Amino acid sequence: MITEAPAFKISPVKESRVGQLDPDKIVFGTLFTDHMLVADCVNGEWQTPEILPYGSIAYDPAIASLHYGQSIFEGMKAFKNVDGDVVMFRPEENFKRFNISAERMCMPSVPEEIFLGGLRELLNLDRNWVPDGDDNSLYLRPFMFASDVYLGVRPSLNYRFMIIMSPAGQYYAEPPKVKVETEFIRAAEGGVGYAKCAGNYAASLYPAKLAQEQGYTQLLWTDAKTHSRFEESGTMNVFFVKDGKILTPKTSSTILKGITRDSLLQIAKSLDIEVSEQDVYVKDIIDGIASGSVSEVFGAGTAVVVSPFSAVGFEGNDYVLPEITESSVSSKLKNALNDIRKGKTEDRFGWVYKV
C-alpha cells in the first residue's frame, strides 16, 4: 500500500519546460521533467524531502560514491492510460527491490513515504510530462548515493536519495543482435549481481564495447564458472521460446529479479503459455536456433519492455532468428502487458496504481 507522503518542501518551477517534449521524437534519457526530489539521510536520520526545479547539484570532489561506488538506482515507469489518468506500474515492487539493493551496498533503507510518496508528489506536479503514444511512458529514476566527504573505505554515514523523471519511447530502434559472452562476466555467486548498483553497469561497458566493435548491439551474459548457462542480456532479463514453451533462467544471486520478467511470467501463465524457470544452456539454444526449435529470444526490462533479438552470435557464427509477427509469443506478452498498463484491459493482477 502506498501510505501518505510526509510533509514535502515544494519549490515549484516558475515556468514549465514541457513545450520541449515532442512525443514523436523522444530519445531515451535525454530530457528531464520540471522537478526532482531530494532527500538527505544524515547519520541515519531522514531529513524533510524537498521537491525542486530540475537542475545541477554541487558536491565536494571527495564524496564516497564517486570513489567507491556506493550508488544504487531503480528504473520504473508511469503511463497515461486510455482515460487520461497517470498510472504507475507495480511501484511497490521497485520500492522493495531498491531497499534490497541498499542493504547489499550497506546503505540505509529509504522509507516508503519518501520513495512512493515522493513519486506520487512528483508525478502530480509533472503529470503533463507523461507522453501520449503507444510505446511512450515517463521513465522514473529513483537513486541514492553516498555523500560523506571522506576518502577512507567504509560505509558512508550520509546519503542522498533523489528521483528524476524522463520521457521515454522505444529503447531500441531495431531488434538487437546479441553476442554470447564467454570471456567476461557480469556477476558471480556471492557478488552484487542481484543488486541494482551502479558498478554492475560500469563493469558491463567494456565487454559490451568490444561486442559492439564486432557488430553486435548487446551481450548475452553467461554464468561465471562455466560460461555454459545463460544469465541475463545487457540490462535485461532474457527469455527463450523453445517448441512453443517459454524458458528463462531462474533468478539467483547473480541475476536481477526483474519486475517486467515477473509480470511476463504471470501473463504467460494466464494466457496458457507454458513457462519454465530453469537452467538454460547455451548449447541447447544455439542448436535449437539452428534446427528451428528455438523460435524467439527476447529481453525484458523496464526500459526495453519486451525486446526480441534478431540474431545470437556464438563462437564467431551468427544464428539468425525468425522475424517476429503479431502471433509471436513476445508480441502476445508485450501487447498484454501494454494493454494492462494503458488501461485497455482489466488489471486482473492489481499492478496499476493510479496517481
136 is an interface residue for ligand COI by CB under 6 A: no
Tell which one of 49, 69, 75, 175 touches ligand COI (CB under 6 A): 75
Phi, psi dihedrals of residue 296, rounded to the nearest 5°: -145, 145
Cβ atoms 151, 355 nearer than 8 A: no
User: Which is closer to ligand COI, CB of 180 or CB of 259?
Assistant: 259
Answer whether 88's CB lies under 8 Å from 353's CB.
yes
Please give the grid coordinates belonging to residue 174: 531495431
How crowded is residue 304: how many other Cβ atoms within 10 Å of its Cβ?
21
Work out which of 265, 303, 306, 329 binds ligand COI, going by CB under 6 A: 303
Which residue in 131, 176, 299, 301 binds ligand COI (CB under 6 A)?
301
- State the cell numbers at 106: 550497506
- Minimal distance, residue 19 CB to ligand COI, in Å: 26
Contact pick of 136, 166, 237, 302 for ligand COI (by CB under 6 A): 302
Cell of 264: 511476463
Q: Cβ of residue 303: shortest distance to ligand COI, in angstroms? A: 3
- What mask of x and - would describe binding to ligand COI in positions 257 to 286, judged by CB under 6 A? ------------------------------
Of 6 and 29, which CB lies nearer to ligand COI in the complex structure?
29
Using rule CB under 6 A, residue 176 touches ligand COI: no
State the residue number with the nearest CB to ligand COI.
75
The answer to whether the CB of 20 falls within 8 A of the CB of 31 is: yes
Distance of closest approach, residue 73 Cβ to ligand COI, in angstroms: 7
Question: With binding defined as CB under 6 A, does residue 187 bind ligand COI?
Answer: no
Helices (H) and strands (E) in the chain, counts: 7, 20
For residue 281, the 8-state DSSP code is B
Q: What is the DSSP code (8-state) at residue 328? A: S
* Smallest separation (angstroms) from ligand COI to the CB of 260: 7
Query: Residue 237 interacts with ligand COI (CB under 6 A)?
Result: no
Range 24-45 burial, b when 16+ CB lie within 10 A, else e: eebeeeebbbbbbbbbbbeeee
Residues that bind ligand COI (CB under 6 A): 75, 201, 235, 301-303
